[in-house]
Amino acid sequence: MSSDRSTPTDPDWDAIRARLASRAEREGLLDVAVERHESPLGGLLIAATADGVARLGLPSEDEDEVLAELAARVSPRVLRASRPALADARHQLDEYFAGNRRHFGVDLDWRLTNGFRRGVLEATAAIPYGETGTYTSVATAAGSPAAVRAAGTALATNPIPILIPCHRVLRSDGEIGNYRGGREAKVTLLELEAGGR
């Protein structure tokens, strides 16, 4: 059976997706734009709303689960597309991994965290490049010094790792502790920052 229609190639599909994404954005139908970005840790999934970056999925995370979380908690209108906040995040992450950026200036959308957890993440964001805090110090800064376990949970569920540097939080005994991206990724980030002091 012959066909007059040819099968679109990958570049053709990329162009079609780009046109659809642009139209969805113009018509207000795109709530969450996502892009993959390669890093020394592996592929990152960055998601942004009109307010800023809302989620950064690490290589250890299942991409389908990250997309499902965004669809359930932000909006089902999620599409691979570009946005200024995504371009800014990619650029600043590249500078960070190259050792040329110590502070992120990316717009953030905090909607995936609130209350005490957000306070912990805001305290974490204040830890300077190349320095570390403890679970106790961020719990204290968030207003509940005794809520160390809750602070650990807030850090373990940080929706925007690296940009909100939860890798800078260690156990009180100086041990690395857990990290959403895995111990090896946390060590890599801490070594990167230690070398850039």
Catalytic machinery residues: 166
Residue 56 parent element (H or E):
strand 52-57
HSE, CB side, 13 Å, CA atoms: give it for residue 154.
29
Q: Looking at the DSSP assignment, which residues form a beta bridge with residue 161? A: 164
Q: Is the dihedral of CA 35, 170, 113, 89 positive or negative?
A: negative
Q: How many residues does the chain have?
A: 197
What are the beta bridge partners of residue 80? 34
What span, in angstroms and rounded, lies between the C-alpha atoms of 40 and 17?
Answer: 27
Angstrom CA distances, 79 to 34, 95, 190, stand at: 6, 26, 33
Give me the sign of the Cα torsion angle 117, 119, 120, 121: positive
User: 112 in helix, strand or coil?
Assistant: coil
